[in-house]
Amino acid sequence: MICYRHADPRLPFLAETEAQPPARWHGAGEGPVQYLSDTPDGAWAELLRHEEIRSAEDLAEVRRALWAVEVPGGEAWEEPRLPPATLAGGPGSYPACREEARRIRAGGAAGLAAPSAALRPGEAGGWRVDRGLVPGEARDARTIALFGRRPDLRGWAATAAGRPREDLLPRVRHLGR
């Protein structure tokens, strides 16, 4: 499976230490956790959501690496058992998500697969070419969170210092401020 991750262009594409800042699926000292998206738009949406980028003017300043990461098939990923509002919620929902991730990790899973909190439902359809560029069929984006260091994963820089298309901005589920 190919997944996608945005990263600071000066840094590796995966986290390697427990010093990784806390996020939805891990607390302080519980890393590393590798956060990946099943589409490039999902990876970009995560950046736009967390950096609260809502305008084309702010988007013009973005310079991130986008990585395509090969994830081996057959790994034991579990689906979190949480309500949709918690899975898509803002920082207030993180304690429940972290507790669920602890339960999943304690059960021996290599990671989890959850609906994207950043990309609105149905907005991961991509594009097709049919007498010009047209939106692909609606589909939901997924986030893959892999527990621990992952030196086995191989990545390719899809862009060294790029940004998403402007038409992604309205498709992002922004944090409500």
In the chain, where the domains are located: 2-171
**Which H or E run contains 47?**
helix 40-50
Query: Is the pLDDT confidence value at 177 over 70?
Result: no
Average pLDDT over residues 108-126: 96
At residue 127, the pLDDT reads 95
pLDDT digits (tens, 9 = 90+) for 48-89: 999 999 999 999 999 999 999 999 877 779 999 999 999 999
Give phi and psi for 102, each to the nearest 5.
-60, -40
The structure tokens 């803002």 sit at 90
CA 85 from chain centre, in angstroms, equals 17
Q: How many residues in total does the chain contain?
A: 177
Which two three-digit tokens encode residue 175?
């944090």
* pTM reported for the whole predicted model: 0.93
User: How is residue 82 annotated by DSSP?
Assistant: S
pLDDT given for residue 74 in this prediction: 72
CA pair distance 32, 26, nearest whole angstrom: 8
Looking at residue 176, its pLDDT comes to: 73
